[in-house]
């Protein structure tokens, strides 16, 4: 199963046209810099997909971690700040590295 299939299995229909309106609603309620926490549901070489209680995944890339990544596993609770909304993939990018000047707007 490829990465896209794994994400779709964990977050069914998150990229479907019927969920586009929901994406915009949730996105309007979450501000850049907001603190979020969630459970790691998928672990990849590039980072984690995190369930933050929405029908859309949050993604934390390896370069966005404060601590040693190898200590995290599926099922662990993790927290971070929203730094970007991916309007193409309907994913929320979160980081543990704090705010950086380029973290405005969309991917």
Section 42-67 average pLDDT: 86
Look at the chain and count its residues: 107
In degrees, rounded to 5, the angle at the alpha carbon of residue 29 between the alpha carbons of residues 26 and 34 is 110
Separation between Cα atoms, residue 49 and residue 10, nearest integer Å: 9
Across the chain, what does the average pLDDT equal? Answer: 84
Query: Which two structure tokens, joined as six digits, stand for 26?
Result: 């949730």
Under the banding of pLDDT at 50, 70 and 90, the label for residue 71 is confident
Strands (E), 45-88: 47-51, 58-61, 77-86
Under the banding of pLDDT at 50, 70 and 90, the label for residue 1 is confident
Separation between Cα atoms, residue 30 and residue 25, nearest integer Å: 9
Separation between Cα atoms, residue 82 and residue 77, nearest integer Å: 16
**pLDDT at residue 105 tops 60:** no
pLDDT exceeding 70 applies to what percent of the chain? 83
pLDDT score for 107: 42
**pTM for the whole thing?**
0.83
């Amino acid at each position: 199963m490829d990465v896209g299939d794994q994400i779709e299995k964990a977050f069914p229909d998150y990229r479907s046209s019927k969920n586009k309106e929901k994406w915009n609603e949730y996105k309007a309620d979450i501000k850049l810099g907001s603190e979020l926490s969630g459970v790691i549901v998928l672990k990849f070489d590039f980072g984690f997909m995190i369930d933050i209680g929405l029908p859309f995944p949050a993604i934390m890339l390896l370069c966005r971690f404060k601590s040693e990544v190898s200590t995290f596993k599926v099922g662990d609770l993790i927290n971070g700040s929203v730094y970007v909304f991916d309007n193409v993939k309907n994913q929320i990018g979160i980081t543990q590295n704090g705010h950086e000047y380029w973290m405005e707007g969309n991917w």
